[in-house]
């Protein structure tokens, strides 16, 4: 799936909402360290805690390994972190490696940044926010 654009397919919107809800329910600390996830929210996922010392090549290898470990061609990539939805250093540090790893696998990535209150596609700027996300 390429860059996210409106209108979102219902299935993708549900998956992204699930990623936000999972973070909001599981993390109660004020600061959430960045963690990259590859897979499907609520399904098989490989997660990697971020280390700011990693370079582009190591991050690309980590994403490629995670991508190979997750079954199916529709794996999403999302970075969970605290803070506002505006572009953050961790977002920029992971975006290039995600694009490179997916290109190696000849696939088109969906990369979003997830916070407790919403998600953002840093490539298109598409975003969804909730004041209080709740289980339906």
User: Tell me, what's the pLDDT at 1?
Assistant: 52
**Secondary structure of 56-124 in the HEC alphabet?**
HHHHHHHHHHHHHHCCCCCCEEEEECCCCCCCCHHHHHHHHHHHHHHHHCCCCCCEEEEECCEEECCCC
Interval 120-132: pLDDT, tens:
999 999 999 998 8
Q: Which domains does the chain have, with CATH numbers?
A: 10-127 (3.40.140)
Cα gap 68→27, rounded to integer Å: 27
User: Tell me, what's the pLDDT at 24?
Assistant: 92
Cα gap 115→113, rounded to integer Å: 7
Interval 59-90: pLDDT, tens:
999 999 999 999 777 889 999 999 998 899 99
Interval 88-105: pLDDT, tens:
999 999 999 999 999 998
């Amino acid at each position: 799936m390429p860059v996210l654009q409106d209108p979102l397919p219902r299935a993708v919107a549900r998956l992204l909402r699930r990623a936000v809800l999972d973070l909001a329910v599981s993390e109660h600390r004020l600061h959430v360290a960045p963690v990259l996830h590859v897979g499907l929210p609520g399904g098989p996922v490989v997660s990697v805690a971020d280390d700011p010392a990693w370079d582009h090549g190591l991050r690309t290898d980590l994403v490629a390994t995670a991508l190979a470990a997750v079954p199916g061609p529709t794996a999403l990539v999302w970075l969970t972190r605290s803070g506002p939805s505006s572009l953050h250093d961790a977002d920029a540090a992971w975006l290039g490696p995600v694009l490179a790893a997916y290109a190696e696998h000849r696939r088109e990535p969906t990369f979003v940044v997830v916070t407790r209150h919403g998600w953002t596609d840093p490539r298109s700027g598409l975003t969804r926010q909730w004041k209080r996300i709740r289980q339906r």
